[in-house]
Amino acid sequence: IMKKTEVLVVCTHQEILNTVVRLVNSNTEMSAIGANTLEQAITTFRSANFDLVLVGAGLEKAEETELEHVIRKVNRKIPIVFHYGGGSGLLFTEIYEALK
């Protein structure tokens, strides 16, 4: 059995977060967990092994920078994808590109 790609989705807009998490989870190769605040994202990131972090809309620039800093301290190589909409096709393209 292939290990699923673990994705942390960060977005402060709950409806968008739910949609993106659902979309990622609809892909049999992936598993997503959502976080809707910077604090929740950091706590969740530290509590599990993620293969990719997907950052959506809503965080302040400073919060994105802080999140990136925390992620890099834990794992320098993990891809961070900034996704601000554009549909599921684009979403998966961005994820697969980042995982290469």
Assess whether pLDDT exceeds 80 at residue 85: no
pLDDT band at 18 (very low <50, low <70, confident <90, very high): very high
Rg (alpha carbons) of the chain, rounded to whole number: 12
Q: Give the number of C-alpha atoms closer than 13 A to the C-alpha of residue 96, restricted to the C-beta side.
A: 8
Say if pTM beats, i.e. exceeds, 0.85.
yes
Q: Express as a percent the part of the chain with pLDDT over 90.
A: 86
Contact 45, 8 (CB under 8 A): yes
